[in-house]
Amino acid sequence: MEYIAFLKSMLAVNTQEETQRMTAVRKAYQKAIVTPTHHIEQLWRDYENFENSVSRQLAKGLLSEYQPKYNSARAVYRELKKYVDEIDWNMLAVPPTDSCKDQMQWVAWKRLLAFEKGNPQRIDSASNKRIIFSYEQCLMYLYHYPDIWYDYATWQAKSGSMDAAVKVFQRALKALPESEMLKYAYAELEESRGALQSAKKLYESLLGDAAETTALAHIQFIRFLRRNEGVEAARKYFLDARKSPSCTYHVYVAYALMAFCLDKDPKVAHNVFEAGLKQFMHEPVYILEYADFLSCLNDDRNIRALFERALSSLPQEESIEIWKRFTQFEKTYGDLASMLKVEQRRKEALSGTIEEGASALETSLLDLISRYSFKDLWPCSSKDLDHLSRQEWLSKNIGKKVDKSALSNGSAMTDKSTSAPSGVPTASLKVLHPDTSQMVIYDPRQHHGTTVPSNTTTAILAAPNLSNPMATVVGAASNPLSNPIVSMVDGVSSKAFDEVLKATPPALSAFLAGLPSIEGPAPNVDIVLSICLQNDYPTVQTKKATSLPSQRTAGPAPSTSDLSGSSKSHPIPSNSSFRPRDRQLGKRKDQDRQEEEESTTVQSQPLQRDAFRIRQMQKARGGSASQTGSVSYGSALSGDLSGSTC
């Protein structure tokens, strides 16, 4: 848009210059409206206005020609915008990390590059330019990601631009000079296009200092020399590499297999393995590789000799895999007597190791299954295999002293040092067992961070409030064999608890002590009411009771009257502004409320044929007649306590 505005602002002295200016503006518009970029709709409208201002007749043909191209570019832009919006354009070019943000940005750039490679506009000349532009944009943010550099170079090579691919690899090695992956990829590209000297220099740079050279660099250079310079060049370098301090048994195995598979020379391969055996007899993996090579030659005599030499020199803990391979070898090449003999020797040799520590408890079925199985075919069911594998695990771990901390982490339940039994798949042993030592009896009353006393059935105490004991004692259902308030609750000190007990009214203490034990989250209300009606609770007397003539100060009363919100026995504060008329009005309202409550009789409820509950109902009626309180018990059958009983 700025470029078009610049072209329009140019001064034209004559008609020719004006025509050139118009032509330049038209070309800029036509290039812009076929590019999926921001504000493409505005560019199209400006182009329409421009063509109509020049010549309506010419504009009709040009607009009809570019309309399909513009529609395609607009559709591509709308789809492209979904991928572009996922990219954080403020991201710094830092090495890759494990953070979720970096991984999401990597995914977003991969999706954008894949979209551009799909050539959604189906254009030829500009397609590669757009992809190159996208890769260059991506490298501004993912500069330290080797996979982006590799994708960019391989795409250039597949597109036919080998020189451009070489330049990309050169830039990549400047950005990541320590990346062996990019060096191998660059050397592979140079070798594929015939630039062997450049590839050789790259391999030699990987060798570098002898102290820092890896065994893998030796192996790959030997293979490169074998491919391009022949057997003698590879053999010569192997003889030099074996003297290097970085040469491991991997170099011997790689060269021996190359001589056997590529050169078809088993004698040279055998000599290489024998030469390495003098230096790497302590490596069980090397011995097993040598045994595999001899198996390919069907040389059972030398295989037995190799196993015997290895077992005589290796310590017990490192010979476990050798013994396993030896027993498998005898199953294939030996007879029944040799099989049984090697198995017995294996048990005796490994009797003191973790692998065979409880051999006395092992069942002979495992050895039988091992002898008569083949590949994934077993002489028993999968259920039997699981059962036997668990038995073997128990036999190997029964004498171990497991640390409790290890049990809590579950590490003792899956012993990584023990391997699967011969003939039993290892998948059956990968079972996580629960730590039963940490199990506790489930109690729905317990909450996180609190402990309920063992002789109570409901959450008892909150934080103590000595000024208001009723706010402190939340509720309890006592065990009839013990007092629930005697038990100590975790988190509340015994001193504070004693203060709560002292401040608790006697009536409330007696009420809590007389409650029965319950089962489940809620008690049977009918049974609780019937027990409460049979007990006489002490009367709560306050100091201000004698100062008010209207206050009842004597006489037994049920505990429910002390807790009732409608009881007449509540003292009136001395600073109260109630007048006698107000008190009479309050009494009248209480009497009306009592009459309404008493209107709900037993006859209004469906009778339950329970002689015990009927007897309790009759006692309740008889007891209420002799009491002067304003408590109405309502229906004892339904357990509905009328009035505002606490």
* pLDDT tens column, 552-564: 333 444 433 343 3
Ranges of residues in the chain with a pLDDT under 70 are 121-126, 209-211, 352-363, 398-432, 441-497, 516-521, 537-616, 620-646
* DSSP code at position 160: T
The whole-model pTM stands at 0.58
The pLDDT of residue 564 is 37
To the nearest 10 degrees (0 to 180), the angle between helices 364-371 and 320-333 is 50
Q: Which of 173, 116, 118, 122 is nearest to 144 (CA)?
A: 173
pLDDT in tens, 487-522: 444 444 566 667 777 777 877 777 777 776 666 667
* DSSP code at position 464: -
* Sequence letter at residue 238: F
Q: Are residues 230 and 258 in contact, defined by beta-carbon separation less than 8 angstroms?
A: no
Q: Are residues 106 and 96 in contact, defined by beta-carbon separation less than 8 angstroms?
A: yes
CB-hemisphere CA count at 13 Å for 572? 16
Six token digits for residue 149 = 């550099």
Distance between CA atoms of residues 87 and 93, nearest Å:
13
CA distances from 631 to 366, 449, 532, 623 (A): 79, 40, 14, 11
To the nearest 10 degrees (0 to 180), the angle between helices 284-296 and 300-313 is 170
Six token digits for residue 8 = 């329009």
Q: Which of 49, 43, 48, 50 is nearest to 74 (CA)?
A: 43
Q: Compute φ and ψ for 120, nearest 5 degrees.
A: -65, -25
Distance between CA atoms of residues 633 and 594, nearest Å:
11
The pLDDT of residue 352 is 66
- Domain formed by 1-85, architecture: Alpha Horseshoe (1.25)
DSSP alpha helix (H) spans, 451-493? 469-472
